[in-house]
Amino acid sequence: MSDPRLHSMHLEGQPRRDTFRTARDQLQAACGSQTMAGDLRILDDADLNGPTLAAPLGPSVGGGRAACFTFYLKDGVNVYPLHLGMNSVGRLPDNDVVVRDECVSRRHCAVLIHSDLRCELHDVASKNGTLLNGKKIPQPTKIQSGDQITLCNRRLTFHMTEVAGEPAVAG
150 residue type, one letter: T
What is the chain's pLDDT, residue by residue, as a tens digit (171 residues)? 356 566 555 556 667 677 777 777 777 777 764 444 343 433 444 444 555 544 444 443 333 222 489 999 999 889 999 999 999 999 999 999 999 999 999 999 999 998 888 999 999 989 899 999 999 999 999 999 999 999 999 999 999 999 866 555 655
pTM over cut 0.95: no
C-alpha distances out from residue 55 to 13, 46, 88, 161, 165, Å = 40, 11, 21, 18, 18
Smallest CA-to-CA distance from 142 within 119, 114, 158, 124 is with 119
Instruction: Calculate Rg over the CA atoms of the chain.
Output: 17
Smallest CA-to-CA distance from 90 within 106, 75, 78, 73 is with 106
Smallest CA-to-CA distance from 70 within 59, 53, 61, 57 is with 57
